[in-house]
Amino acid sequence: MTDPHDPGILDHPAWRCLQAAGAVANRQQFFLWTRLHLHHLVPHELLVVQGLPGGGQARWQELLHSVALPPALLQALADAHHPLWQVLAQATAGTAGPQGLVPEVLAVPEVPQGEVLARGLRQAGLSQLLLLGVDPLAQGRPQGWLLLGCGAQADAAAACRHLAWVWPWVWCAAAAVAVGARQTAGAGVLTARELGILREVRQGLSNAEIGVQLGLSALTVKNTLARILRKLAVHNRAQAVAEAMARRYLD
């Protein structure tokens, strides 16, 4: 993608992207890095990174999106054990190339779980999906996935070429954020009231409606939601629900 002997290489967007990746330490920084740097190389509005740490059984996941996602799609992507991920695993089964696993433009599978993905992407205005099976241990099969959604105007072929080059930095930055979040998970534990409010948020209720359901004032609901966002290190209600589901706080 670049000539390493070019004296101007340090000004190339790819190298600036990789240099900035080393400073990512939390979810907010990861989101800013994807928008300010990665987006210029691989245009996208949805990014999901999922993997198995150290060969263990508990999956970690980072989900970022800059467009509104339908609740059904958001819940499916946020749940690391949703059948949708089995579909994506099957889609990457034959993507191994001479340099390892390579990204591809995914044709949404014609199966029930694939319909959730296709319908949700269309509603969000995302017409293309880039999928990369990640094999960091060179075992010949995916140990995780990078999933990126983009609009019709994006050059998917060029994005795939760039993603094939920068994916280790995306993977490592996301993994570092996930590990750091788990190490501080004690600060993010939610109370019974907070979980109850989040369950109502997942149903699409307003603060006033949640207050009626739980016997609380709308102001109490608002203040509790602000506390939930701080605990989970997220920025809005949809992200709070997705993060709580990813941590298995919500069924």
Please report, for the chain, the start and end positions of each structural domain, with discontinuous segments joined by +: 9-183, 185-246
185-246: same fold as 9-183?
no
Cα(194)–Cα(244) distance, integer angstroms: 11
> What is the CATH code for 9-183?
3.30.450.80
Cα(3)–Cα(69) distance, integer angstroms: 39
Q: Which pLDDT value is given to residue 194?
A: 92
Which CATH entry fits the domain spanning 185-246: 1.10.10.10, 3.40.50.2300, 3.40.190.10, 3.40.50.920? 1.10.10.10
- Reported as a single tens digit per residue, the pLDDT across 91-116 is 665 554 434 445 556 554 444 566 77
Check pLDDT > 70 for residue 1: no
Coil, strand or helix at 4:
coil
Q: Which pLDDT value is given to residue 82?
A: 77
* Helices 207-214 and 192-202: angle between axes, nearest 10 degrees: 130
Query: Which residues are CB-contacts of 59 (< 8 A; sequence separation ≥ 6)?
Result: 50, 51, 52, 80, 81
Q: What is the pTM of this model?
A: 0.63
Average pLDDT over residues 214-219: 92
* Helices 237-246 and 192-202: angle between axes, nearest 10 degrees: 110
Query: Contact at 8 Å (CB) between 197 and 203?
Result: no
Which of 8-12, 142-146, 162-166 is most confident?
162-166
